[in-house]
Amino acid sequence: MFHSEDYFSHQKINLLLKIFQVLIIVVGTMSIVRLAEQEYMQFLVDMIFLLTLLFAYYRLTIDSEQYKMITRIVYFAAVATSVFILLYHPDNPMRFIWFATNIYIVFYLFDRKEAVIWVEAIGIVLVLTYLFTPGHFHLNINDFLIWLMNMLIILMISQWYSKIEDDSKRNLLKIKNFLSDEVKEKTQELEQKTRELQSLNKNLEKKIQEKIEQNREQEKMLFRQARYAQMGEMISMIAHQWRQPLNAISTVTATMQLKIARDDYDSVFVTNKIDAIGEYVQHLSSTIDDFRNFFKLDREKEELTFARVIKNTLKLVGSELESKHITLDVEYGCYCTVYTYPNEVQHVILNIVKNAEDALLINHVPNPKITIKTMGDGTNSILEIEDNAGGIDETIMEKIFDPYFTTKKNSDGTGLGLYMSKIIIEEHCNGKIKVENGKQGAIFKLVFPVFQEDTPNVS
């Protein structure tokens, strides 16, 4: 904290040290002159005064707390030197200047009250000295009084100036103290605001963290719901794909039972039927493997082409689309390799195809058709899924990726499929999913950065 009194005391000490330096130079020079002029008495007085100055300067530099004692010693020595010059060098014009200087600077060295006492004491000493030894002054009474009047004028001016200086100092001290208090108050307010802000930040960070955890839990819940809904669809597709092989196995076994009952069979017949049953069982096993792989969680990203993902998806949904007389066309215009999670992309493609299937059946489209295309622009690899179900109403186009938003009137939809598809593609797979209306229906686009160019291969 700033202490104004200490500041001004320090400034006064620095000023006094500079005055001492000047006086040491002046008195030292005068001592050499006195010695050259063989004025030995004055030389001795000057040397005493010079030694006093040197001692005072040394003591003040090592111990500033002795300021008042040192100034009194120096001032007393200066007055004594002035009196000696006044009495014993009547022809020296410096004798009156020394006294004038002592009167003037006394208000710089002491407090104003003490300075007045010193000046009054000097004045009394001068008057008494003149009354008892007027010859030493070499002045008549009129000149002496004029000299005293001049000294009085100097005294008044010095006192007025000292008063102005003291008032200015007090005002400056008040201003500095006021500013210091203001700075302290504002600093405390700032510290309080900082503490409040830090507390607010901690609470805000805690709330943000809690909100993030809530969002994570909600996202996990939505994933589970979407997963369960998709599992129900998978079970329906498994049942559909198993129906034909099971019917075929049932037919073969019935034929074999009839032949056995009539005893009308041979080894070739039995062998062929057993081989047929084996093929049907293999088909059932392959179907289970396809769906089991579909539900496996991707541990790491892989390099893959859209052709491979499309082929695996058609294994799951192709026969169902065929049974519902929905034409599925695939056009490969790009064989670029992308770096992503295969099963997650397959989930999204299957979800979009199933939505297209539902839209075609709900709208009773005469010649239902789903077209899957792959293309590239040099930077991105794009997969398009288009249907001819009439498209999406423009008023709800921006809402279709919102959670729990569905347009299925029979309430079979959960409203999570497209929401989770967007999360999977854009947050997990580093891609983009877009939708727009084409000439005949909706077009969904999956866009991924190209990992590397590839050669045509759909295996």
Written as six digits, the tokens of 79 are 């007055």
Contact 155, 112 (CB under 8 A): no
pLDDT digits (tens, 9 = 90+) for 226-272: 666 666 666 665 665 566 567 667 777 887 888 788 877 777 777 87
Element (H, E) at 305: strand 302-305
Per-domain residue ranges of the chain:
4-139, 300-449
Taking every pair of Cα atoms in the chain, the longest distance, rounded to a whole number of angstroms, is 177
Contact 443, 384 (CB under 8 A): yes
The 3-state DSSP composition of the chain as helix, strand, coil percent (nearest 5) reads 70, 10, 20
From the centroid of its chain, how far is CA 369? 54
User: What pLDDT is attached to residue 459?
Assistant: 45
Q: What is the pTM of this model?
A: 0.46
Buried b (16+ CB within 10 A) or exposed e, 370-389: bbbbbbbeeebbbbbbbbbb
What pairing do the DSSP bridges indicate for beta strands 380-387 and 369-376?
antiparallel
Contact 304, 338 (CB under 8 A): yes
**Which DSSP symbol is given to 325?**
T
How many helices, marked H, and strands, marked E, lie in the chain? 10, 7
| Residues of the chain below pLDDT 70 | 1-9, 86-87, 89-112, 114-115, 134-139, 143-144, 146-148, 150-163, 165-166, 219-220, 222-245, 247-248, 279-280, 283-284, 286-287, 289-299, 408-416, 452-459
User: What pLDDT is attached to residue 448?
Assistant: 92
- Paired strand residues for 445: 384, 434
Domain 300-449: CATH superfamily is Histidine kinase-like ATPase, C-terminal domain (3.30.565.10)
